Structure 1
Amino acid sequence: MNDILIPKLQQVFTLQLWQAMLIQTAFFGAYFIISLLYFVFSITKGDPIQKIGYKNGIIVGLVVAAVGCAMFYPAASLLSYAFFLLALFILASGITILQIAANPYVAILGPPEGAASRLNMTQALNSLGTTVAPIIGGYLIFEGVDAVQTGSADSVKLPYLGLAATLLAIAVLIKVSNLPRIQSEEEQLAPDAGALKYRHLVLGIVCIFMYVGGEVSIGSALINFFRLPEIAGLEETEAGHFLAFYWGGAMVGRFFGAVALAQFRHNSRKYVIIGVIAAVAFALLYSIYGLDEALIALGLIALNFVVLLLGRFLPGRTLGFFATTVLVLLLFTTFAEGSVAMWSVIAIGLFNSIMFPTIFTLAIEGLGIHTSQASSLLVMAIVGGAIIPPLQGWVADASGSLQLSFLVPMVCYAYIVYYGFLGSRIKQVSA
């Protein structure tokens, strides 16, 4: 929803692009601050989630996020950009707590060798939301009640009140559900930063920073990018539909990743399942958008599968090839025009797909007792989503070219290429 909110509030408050990108700074800045507080508390007082339990941690995260969503109503009524940023910070604080509690829970719920596959699956379901939100949110915010009023932010009230109600309903559902209670059997971590002795973790923290920053930066700029006359000249609502392709590609790719990293007795089953996923995606796109868009998407899915084969389903190698492909797509985005540039940037979502869970898995590999500490540090690195988007916005404003600003995420993905092929290799613990 942030990608829809950026052009709306930019219009309402007459903001420059870098100022509008502060929406992402407020949102992802919460990941850094809350994770830092959690990290400090856990090495001095003990892990809060272990004390209250994973289930209660998930509930706390949902409730805090709901409060942040509800604050959009007074923010719109007061017509205060600062209030909007505060609401986003609280919303993201709840999501940070939710992620700290839910990710380890997903990993623990099954065999360790399937953890990466399960994390890819949760990311795929997460992407379902980011695929649907631009369509529904774009309609409600740009075409809903009072949306056309200049200087009015009233159209954001209903969507975010709806989100608040939904989050609270999920919290109640979690509360009454009989979820497995899991007790940690790990030793108590000594109050030091022992995880930082691992080189591949430190480089992985930087990689998460770069990945989230690059992904969010690109997504935040897409609606304005699609509106450019030399690219597509689309209106906001239609641009929101194509934004759904970007996040929908990430969803399809993460389903591919979940299958590719899963343990099968015969690899041929992987290909069959991936084929079924591709067929379902094609059928849905054909029914919603028509044959032309469905065929383009099918071609991009086929390219994604070829790159998966080049990676041989090995995490580091696959990550490196995926990031290399994104670099090529960014070159077309930056220097081409029309449908070539448009579909190149949309295709990036498909190749972003496996990056977060793969980087996360590579970074915590072999850390043993330091795994929990490493996880909180990796979540902290999501702050890249707060820093890189305003930087891209500043480059766009300073150069007068939104296309040239895509050189910023290009640097991010160049680092991911390095981490996938070289930086993720496990080194001995430093003295």
Structure 2
Amino acid sequence: MTETNKNGKVIAIVTMCFIFAMISFVTNMGAPFGNIWGFEYPFAKAWGNLMNFAAYLFMGIPAGKMLTKYGYKKTALIALIVGIVGLCFQYLSSLVGAGTYVFTYDSIPVALNLVIYLLGAFICGFCVCMLNTVVNPMLNLLGGGGNKGNQLIQVGGTLNSLTGTLTPLLAGWLVGTVTADTSMSDVAPLLFIGIAVFAISFVIISRVTIPEPTLGKVAPKYERSPLAFRHCVLGVIAIFFYVGIEIGIPMELNFYVTDLGFEGAAAIGGTLAAAYWLLMMIGRACSSAISGKVSTKLQLSTVSAVAILLLVIAIFMPEDVTISFNGHDVPAKAFLIPACGLCTSIMWGGIFNLSVEGLGKYTEAASGIFMTMVVGGGVMPLLQEAIAKSAGPIFSYWLVIAMLAYILFYALVGCKNVNQDIKVD
């Protein structure tokens, strides 16, 4: 390989990791913003998160087709423009529509500003869906697949967790305590940061060269579907559950602590949610260091089992066991739950890596299907929030445990490719 090709590969890897970081920054706005809207509309706490992930259901497969038609670079640039539009809509919800009621839900009049915010969250969902579709197969490809491919995905995931840590932390600091006077204008600086970062990303990506493995080539003939592979089908289900786990754990934790109601509860809730994402960053950094030597299967099965254990302990830990934090007694379980971030840190890359192993020409099509199933990040947390309202926020983590049990099954049994007779070249 020439020095020019090596430099080009390094630039491409750095660029993909940079995009990976942007995905989490925007996605993680859902929970802290949900606290703001939830004060006036208790039923809508998880709606912004739902709209963000519902976009994947509509955009997942089209995003995969965009890779083939337009290439990785153009798809990323289009996604960034869409992201800027979505963030602008969310900011617009702080300026207009507060006194204009458009419909009634659960006997509560819903104003236009909530509708505008939800539309912005939906548009942002299109953005992050396209970016996700670009990043994962490209990093896997640049790493040569296998454990090395997973290693690069974990490196990108480390940066993803870093920005994911900053979002709830900054939102908590900006809001402090959610009251009747709290509105989206209080978190406007966070939206401006997102718009600026997307704009800068657009400039950077437009100036670098990214390998285009499918652009300009004759589209491969697909005799079968990626869903003809059992390990791919089971992986798609695992991705659906995993994103629900990743979003649901810190979201419900943030709601739980904020609803304790003491002065500064929202800030502490945001801090603990940020701790979850920080631990995800640490876990991904550790995984990226060992993935060349330790198999993806072993890593995924180990962290799934540990996460189940942590949540079971948290559920049964008495509420009156507290830790003093910033002058307030906070239930100790609220500090145990974020530790799951160390476990969920490697799940996305691990599941994706195992699911596309041996797919060959079907990889890009499979990526689009995976992106569609990311809608689980909206559906499962919504279901978890419904359980929390009826049985309590801590009890809702039994749903998370059930999903983790499935991922443990996938790591131990479901990831085996039993369809090696299908031609993939």
Quote the residue 1:254 is aligned against.
284
Q: Distance in 2 between matches of 1:417 and 1:363?
A: 14
Write out aligned runs for 1:344-363 (5 A). Answer: 344-363=336-355
Quote the residue 1:98 is aligned against.
131
Identity %: 25
Write out aligned runs for 1:230-309 (5 A). Answer: 235-262=265-292
TM-aligned CA deviation for residue 73 of structure 1: 2.2
Task: Give the alignment's TM-score, normalised by structure 1.
Answer: 0.79
Equivalent residue letter for 2:36:
K
Equivalent residue letter for 1:373:
A
Aligned residues of 2:63 and 2:133 also touching (Cα < 8 A): no
Q: Distance in 1 between matches of 2:250 and 2:54?
A: 17
Equivalent residue letter for 1:52:
Y
Aligned residues of 1:23 and 1:85 also touching (Cα < 8 A): yes
* 2:72 paired with 1:54: yes
Write out aligned runs for 1:102-121 (5 A). Answer: 102-113=135-146, 114-121=148-155
The superposition leaves residues 129-152 of structure 1 with CA deviations (integer Å, 9 ceiling, x where unpaired) of 011222222222447xxx866264
* 2:86 paired with 1:68: yes
Q: Distance in 2 between matches of 1:394 and 1:241?
A: 24
Quote the residue 2:42 is aligned against.
15
The superposition leaves residues 75-96 of structure 1 with CA deviations (integer Å, 9 ceiling, x where unpaired) of 1222321211110010111111
The superposition leaves residues 82-134 of structure 1 with CA deviations (integer Å, 9 ceiling, x where unpaired) of 21111001011111111212322323334334211001100111100011222
TM-aligned CA deviation for residue 335 of structure 1: 1.9
Q: Runs in 1 of length 4+ with deviation above 6 angstroms? A: none
Quote the residue 1:160 is aligned against.
191
Over the residues paired in the alignment, what is the CA RMSD in angstroms?
Answer: 2.4
Q: Distance in 2 between matches of 1:169 and 1:148?
A: 34
Equivalent residue letter for 1:21:
A
Q: Which runs of 5 or more residues in structure 1 are unaligned?
A: 43-47, 264-312
Quote the residue 2:16 is aligned against.
none
* 2:31 paired with 1:3: yes
Quote the residue 2:212 is aligned against.
182
Equivalent residue letter for 1:208:
I
SS at the partner of 1:82?
A: helix
Q: Distance in 1 between matches of 2:56 and 2:223?
A: 21
Equivalent residue letter for 1:88:
A
The superposition leaves residues 377-417 of structure 1 with CA deviations (integer Å, 9 ceiling, x where unpaired) of 11211111011011011111122x11111111111111011
Task: Give the alignment's TM-score, normalised by structure 2.
Answer: 0.80
Q: Which runs of 5 or more residues in structure 2 are unaligned?
A: 1-28, 99-112, 323-331
Q: Distance in 1 between matches of 2:174 and 2:245?
A: 27
Aligned residues of 2:90 and 2:120 also touching (Cα < 8 A): yes
Write out aligned runs for 1:380-395 (5 A). Answer: 380-395=372-387
Q: 2:307 aligns with which of 326, 329, 333?
A: 326
Aligned residues of 1:323 and 1:351 also touching (Cα < 8 A): yes
The superposition leaves residues 317-368 of structure 1 with CA deviations (integer Å, 9 ceiling, x where unpaired) of 3211211111111112222133541232011011111111000000011111
* 2:368 paired with 1:376: yes
Q: Distance in 2 between matches of 1:15 and 1:193?
A: 46
